[in-house]
Amino acid sequence: MNILVTGASSGIGREVALAFASGGAQLFLWGRNEERLTAVADDVQALGGTSEQRTVDLTHEAERHAAVQALPDTLDVVVHSAGTIALAPVADLSEQAARDQWLLNAHAPAMLTQALLPRLRRAAGHVIFINSGAGVHARAGWSAYAMSKHALKALADALREEERPHGVQVTSIYPGRTDTPMQHEVRRQEGGPYEQEAYVNAADVAQAVRQAVHMQPPSSMTDVHVRPR
């Protein structure tokens, strides 16, 4: 099984890579931090898995294209886990912050999925989008991030209908607040304490991804919400 994970250098993406490491899959790990990617690849190997890593900025079309060309002819699973966040009310939102979130959280997954569809169709593969609770409910101060995640939901819903005749499955995962480096950044921006015990474990989100991939026909997991108790 060939599995591509974007945003694999930390957080949920890292846990997804580890969740599939012992299952005999060939993992392709993409991220922007080479040092952290190498550490994840080492962890995958320690669990008995095999992987190839690539440093890539998904918002750059040329880098994205080159990375796609280096992939095998078939892909069984693509997990879109790369993302960024910058909180601000609409009145104070900078154009750059809005653009950055849109490009990485919504535009890049759309264009990357388009480029990968031939590989996914050959394998009757599975596309998984790591969305967010913000993808179904927008809170004050979260406008740009929520906008990008609502768009990601729309992408997944349309893609699911379009690719059903080709045998490609599509799943959206909607985690609540999750114990990740991104959540540390969120709490820093919010100016609040970090309450690890109150957040979802990133490994549990990864297990939801794994369960979605291993569902047996004719069943399919389309939308999965993972929330703190």
Report the catalytic residues: 145
- Distance, in Å, from the CA atom of 149 to the CA atom of 218, rounded to the nearest integer, reads 28
Contact between 78 and 28 under an 8 Å Cβ cutoff? The reply is: no
Query: How wide is the angle at C-alpha 100 spanned by C-alphas 137 and 132, nearest 5°?
Result: 25
Q: In what order do the strands lie in the sheet with 26-31?
A: 50-55, 26-31, 2-5, 77-80, 126-130, 169-175, 223-226
- Distance, in Å, from the CA atom of 158 to the CA atom of 181, rounded to the nearest integer, reads 30
- Distance, in Å, from the CA atom of 141 to the CA atom of 143, rounded to the nearest integer, reads 6
Of 56, 74, 73, nearest to 65 by C-alpha is: 56
Query: Rg of the chain's alpha carbons, rounded to an integer?
Result: 17
Contact between 171 and 127 under an 8 Å Cβ cutoff? The reply is: yes
Task: Tokens for 20, please give them.
Answer: 């599939």
